[in-house]
Homo-oligomer: A and B are copies of this chain.
Amino acid sequence: MSKRYSAQKMMIEDALMRLDHPTASEIYEDIKKTYPNISLGTVYRNLGLMAESGEILRITFGNQPDRFDINTHDHIHVICKKCGEVFDAEGKRLKELIVEIDESIEESTGVHIENRTMYFQGICSNCREQS
């Protein structure tokens, strides 16, 4: 948890609210427009701390750069393979299904599930129209 409120941290929070699941360098580029002195290390450092404290979410998509999410709500990420846009999915039914998957896995492996990492990929309706 941070002790002091730096201008940089506020700018990062602001960027997280405005940008859609941004990477560290997207946030960096965005802030640089109005505050060219910001350093990429500071962005990474703050994002790391915020993710650690649970203030934000770190999303790791395969071997691409990590993305960050101010929405810490329980939800699933869906990426369009064409345009790269990230969609959020949530809902009671989804939650129930995941609990059932947990149970099925616990039964077959004996592992008591505590965390899940998942994201889905496909083609969004917008991109489907254009083909």
Contact = CB atoms under 8 A, between A and B. Distances in A.
Interface of A: 60-63, 66, 76, 78, 80-81, 87-91, 93-94, 97-98, 100-102, 104-106, 108-125, 128
Contact of A104 (B61, B62, B93): B93
Contacts of A128: 112
Give the oligomeric copy count: 2
Contacts of A97: 97, 100-101, 104
A89 B112 contact: no
24 contacts: A62-B117, A78-B105, A80-B111, A81-B115, A87-B109, A87-B110, A89-B105, A90-B108, A91-B108, A94-B104, A97-B104, A102-B120, A106-B122, A111-B122, A111-B123, A112-B122, A112-B124, A113-B120, A113-B121, A114-B122, A116-B118, A116-B121, A118-B118, A118-B119
